Amino acid sequence: MADLGCTPNAAVAFDFLVNKGLQDFQAAAVVGNLQLESRIDPRLAVLDTNKLPSRGIAMWQPPRWQSLLAFAGSRDPWALDTQLDFLWAELQSGGYGLQDLLATTTIEDATVVFQNKFENPNRALAHTDDRIKYARAALFACPAIRPPAPRSRTAIVVATAGALVAAVGYGAYKVATTYKPKPRFRPEPTLPPPVFRRNFRPAWRA
């Protein structure tokens, strides 16, 4: 099994979940599951062994992916922050094991709860041991690379004011030099060719 530790996306997910109120080991359990499911790649799109498309960090299938699209609204559904917000909304909805997760006392139990209640994979193909290994690695590595604590209100106000002044000055310069902004068109993301998952062990799971 490769890439144990805390990837940049794992660090973002870990910090997001801790800020929502999960204990470190519970956040790491979720991250461990997401690492195995998708390597926390929000743009991943594959076919599962049931021939249904699976997308995003939690490998959502229809109709949950359609729910994510509705939740996203004007936001990019393929963005990590959008998918983390939706994951938390699902957990809070009552049907995906949040209370069971909050009641856990070990990283092993937390990993299995999220696996069974939220991901609900084929138990024979779940690779629970690997999920736990990823979770332990995240618990060891991710707390050390959390984003720095927010600065004081005064420092934030000063920094914001400075950024606004800089932005206004830059805007004036662009107008003076006849800058014409490009259209803000974002093409629909192209999905990668589908592959089958869970009925084999990719190289990164070896």
Question: Contact 29/101 with Cβ under 8 angstroms?
Answer: yes
Q: What is the DSSP string of 141-176?
A: HGGGGPPPPPPPHHHHHHHHHHHHHHHHHHHHHHHH
Angle separating helix axes 8-19 and 24-38, nearest 10 degrees: 140
Tell me if 24 sits within 8 A of 136, measured CB to CB.
no
Mean pLDDT of all residues in 177-195: 45
Torsion of CA 76, 7, 191, 1, to 10 degrees: -150
Contacts of 55 (CB under 8 A, 6+ apart): 44, 45, 61, 65
**Sorting pLDDT into bands at 50, 70 and 90, what band is 50?**
confident
For the domain covering 8-149+185-205, report its CATH number: 1.10.530.10
To the question of pTM greater than 0.85 for the whole model, the response is: no
pLDDT score of 156 more than 70: no
Residue 3: the pLDDT is 64
| Contact status, residue 93 vs residue 121, Cβ threshold 8 Å | no
Amino acid at 93: S
Ranges 20-24, 122-126, 201-205: which has the least confidence? 201-205
pLDDT tens figures, 77-98: 999 999 999 999 999 998 999 9
* C-alpha span between 48 and 174 (Å, rounded): 49
